[in-house]
Structure 1
Amino acid sequence: MKILLPVDGTYLSLHEARFALQLMRSGLQASLLLVNVQEPASFYELVTAREPELIEGAALEAGEDLLASTAALLRDAGVPFESVVAQGDPAQAILDLIGEHHCDMVVMGTRALGPIRRMLERGSTSDRLVRNSPVPVLLVTPPLDADAPQ
């Protein structure tokens, strides 16, 4: 089984990775695909940049930096994983990666959006994945004290 694990570099991402590790320690045989999705460069950034490839390189570097702590956690646990940095709309990029990497499940967290923000963002990424994913999406509840790092 291959599990896609979206990572944004926050302690909540580590919480979700620890949950996936707990599943594996309980007997689930799986490998993980760590995914970070970066926002693409704006039209203005592309037009005014002297070297547009530097913008893409900076996004890739930022994504790899955000994946680092989760990757270290998995390496320390001896768990096989791959990592990918993508660009674009997070929900759509994750949906594309599910198919490209033949993932069997997504494990991700949820975050509370207010009704106005949910409407402006066309729903949260987790909501959009639950509605559109071809594979099961397991939503991990944030820790009780979601404001403090663990």
Structure 2
Amino acid sequence: MLKVLVPVNGSKHALDAVRHAAFMYRDKCVSDIVLLNVQEPLEAGRAAAFHRLDALRRLEARDGEAALQEARRILEDAGTPYVAQVKVGDIARTIADTAAANDCDAIVMGTAARSPMGALFAGHLSNRLLRLSRVPVTLVR
């Protein structure tokens, strides 16, 4: 059976991917699920001028846990075991690296938002991830 990584940012589309992974677990196609939220580093912006690095890391961890909250609820309601992680870094690179580090067999992620700008951004992310990942990437709509 497969071990899948599901990147989660709290969006409806990401939660659709979580539901899909839960269905795959129920159908005995998936044995393990790794939820991942990637926070872009706050020190890359203006916040670094006003806050210490440890304070920025606490904010990133808090925001990451908030983004995972609904995904956790979905999997727990479905009786699906999972491991959740929050990481900081470049989103596509961190997803690919985390899949490799956790020996995942696949990545399951939500599709782009329906707005033109959302589609452009998410399309860019999925295209970068396809190039960086050593495992198959499934987009859930």
Q: Which residue of 1 aligns with 2:36?
A: 35
Q: TM-score, normalised by structure 2?
A: 0.86
Q: In the alignment, is residue 20 of structure 1 matched against residue 21 of structure 2?
A: yes
Alpha carbons of structure 1 residues 39 and 32: separation in structure 2 relative to 1, 3 Å: same
Distance 1:97 1:32 in 2: 12
Q: Quick check: 2:13–2:111 contact (8 Å CA) kept in 1?
A: no
Distance 1:114 1:15 in 2: 20
Distance 2:130 2:15 in 1: 21
Indicate the percent of aligned positions where both proteins have the same amino acid. Answer: 35
Which one-letter code corresponds to 2:16 in the other structure? H
Q: TM-score, normalised by structure 1?
A: 0.81
Deviation at 1:98, TM superposition (A): 1.1
Q: Which residue of 1 aligns with 2:137?
A: 137
Distance 2:11 2:109 in 1: 12
Distance 1:21 1:58 in 2: 29
Distance 1:26 1:32 in 2: 14
Match of 2:29, SS? coil
Q: Which residue of 1 aligns with 2:101?
A: 100
Q: Which residue of 1 aligns with 2:12?
A: 11
Which one-letter code corresponds to 1:15 in the other structure? D
Q: Quick check: 1:109–1:126 contact (8 Å CA) kept in 2?
A: no
Distance 1:140 1:77 in 2: 18
> Structure 1 or 2: larger helix share?
2
Match of 1:107, SS? strand
Distance 1:27 1:102 in 2: 18
Q: Alignment partner for residue 48 of structure 2, among 40, 46, 49?
A: 46
The number of aligned residues is 137
Q: Which residue of 2 aligns with 1:88?
A: 89
Q: Quick check: 1:4–1:32 contact (8 Å CA) kept in 2?
A: yes
Q: Quick check: 1:107–1:137 contact (8 Å CA) kept in 2?
A: yes
Alpha-carbon displacement from aligned partner over 1:45-64 (angstroms, at most 9, x marks no partner): 22332x32111101101100
Q: Which residue of 2 aligns with 1:60?
A: 61
Larger Rg: 1
Match of 1:124, SS? helix
Distance 1:81 1:60 in 2: 18
Q: Which residue of 2 aligns with 1:145?
A: none
Q: Quick check: 1:110–1:140 contact (8 Å CA) kept in 2?
A: yes
